[in-house]
Amino acid sequence: MTATGIEISGLRHAIRGTEILAPATLTIPAGRITALIGPNGAGKSTLSRLIARIEPPPAGTVAVNGLDVATTRTGRLARELAFLGQHTTLASRLRVRELVAFGRWPHCHGRPGPEDHAAVARALDDFDLAPLAGRFLDTLSGGQAQRAHLAMAVAQQTPWLILDEPLNNLDLAHARALMAHLARLRDAGGSILVVLHDLNFAAAWADHVVAMKAGHVVAEGPPEAVLTEDRLSALYDTEIRVGTHGGRPLVLHHL
């Protein structure tokens, strides 16, 4: 399978007549970290959920590495893309290791082999979860639970990783560790689409930035082209200054 990126064409979504996503046509490049940014209600989560076929098949088409998400079997897609949404509460009572092991389902269908156990152990290590592996999820803090869910998505070992606000609840050390981990995955040939609220994480780690506002894609390109004072001020309807640090934009949105 050639990694051709995510081709989105004419994709739109409406809930009871309210347009959440205007017809969108864009390509999310393979082998890159793409950050999806924009104010609340811009349609970022909707777009990521539509790509990951969590919402029902929409108008328009989405193809992930050439696989149409509306017609490809969901089991096949689970080996092409892993998705982590914002809802991380669970109805069932699980240990951390058991949750992460579910990430291997698309490969082993409930009968894990040695490589599945190895992948789970590696994902637990990558997210500092080894000491917590035997704990029940409902005994963990929000950030620890978020890391367990991230480990599950990573254990799925798919060419594409789609994360909706993965930095939720993470402390700054683990937030940076996550972005560094995503960068390692990219260097190993992986492709990542990540919805980010903190613009500086996008500025520092992303290769490609897609900016959305009110259901429209308003800008896309490399961070230094999208994360400019004019564009960001228009995007968030508030004055935002942008400096530079280490050759990358530094967004001074808190000043």
Partner 1 sequence: MRPRTALVVALLLALAVALWLFQGLGPGNRPFVLGLRATKLAALALVAASVGMATVLFQTVAQNRILTPAIMGFDALYLLIQSLAVATLGTVGFAMLPAGAKFAAETLLMTAVAVALFGALLGRAAPEAIGRTILTGVVLGILFRSGATLIARMLDPNAHAVVQAASFADFGRPAAGTLGWAAAVALPAMALALALGPRLDLLALGRERAVSLGLPHRAMVLVTLALVALLTAVSTALVGPVAFFGLIVAGLAHALAPGARHRVLLLTAAALAATLLIGGQWAFERLLGLRATLSVVIEFAGGIFFLALLLKGRIR
Tell me the sheet residues that pair with 8: 26, 62
Q: Which is nearer to partner 1, 85 or 223 (CB)?
A: 85
Window contacting partner 1 (CB under 8 A); options: 40-48, 100-108, 172-180, 236-244: 100-108
The dihedral built from the CA positions of residue 123, 126, 132 and 137, taken in this order, carries a sign that is negative
Site string for partner 1, 75-94 (x = CB under 8 A): xxxxx--xxxx-x-xxxxxx
From 5, 103, 159, 190, residue interacting with partner 1 (rule: CB under 8 A): 103
Using rule CB under 8 A, residue 98 touches partner 1: yes
Single out the residue of 78, 95, 172, 156 nearest to residue 131, CA to CA. Answer: 95
Size of the site for partner 1 (CB under 8 A): 33
Nearer residue to partner 1 within complex by CB, 156 or 191: 156
Q: Is 140 in the site for partner 1 (CB under 8 A)?
A: no
Closest CA to 211 of 244, 245, 234: 234
Neighbours of 195 (CB within 10 A): 26
Instruction: Determine the 3-state secondary structure of 69 from DSSP.
Output: coil
Q: How far is the CB of 66 from partner 1 (least distance, A)?
A: 18
The residue (of 34 and 45) whose beta carbon lies closer to partner 1 is 45
Which of the stretches 15-23, 67-75, 117-125, 207-215 binds partner 1 when contact is defined by CB under 8 A?
67-75
Structure tokens at 149: 């869910």
Query: Is the Cβ of residue 59 or residue 90 nearer to partner 1 in the bound state?
Result: 90
DSSP assignment of 132-174, as one string? Answer: GTTSBGGGS-HHHHHHHHHHHHHHT--SEEEEESTTTT--HHH
Alpha helices in the chain (DSSP H): 44-51, 74-77, 96-102, 105-108, 114-126, 142-155, 172-187, 199-205, 223-226, 229-236
Using CB under 8 A, which of 3, 22, 26, 54 touches partner 1? 54
State the nearest-atom distance from the C-beta of 81 to partner 1, in Å.
Answer: 8
With CB under 8 A as the contact rule, the residue among 106, 166, 223, 249 that binds partner 1 is 106
Q: Name the nearest CA neighbour of 203 among 232, 169, 174.
A: 232
Residue number, 72 or 233, with CB nearest to partner 1: 72
Confirm or reject binding of residue 44 to partner 1 (CB under 8 A). no
d(CA 252, CA 244): 10
Q: Least distance in Å: CB of 150 to partner 1?
A: 13
H/E element, 81: strand 81-84
Considering the complex, state which of residue 79 and residue 181 has its C-beta at the smaller distance from partner 1. 79
Interacting residues with partner 1 (CB under 8 A): 52-54, 73-79, 82-85, 87, 89-95, 98, 102-103, 105-106, 109-110, 136, 152-153, 156
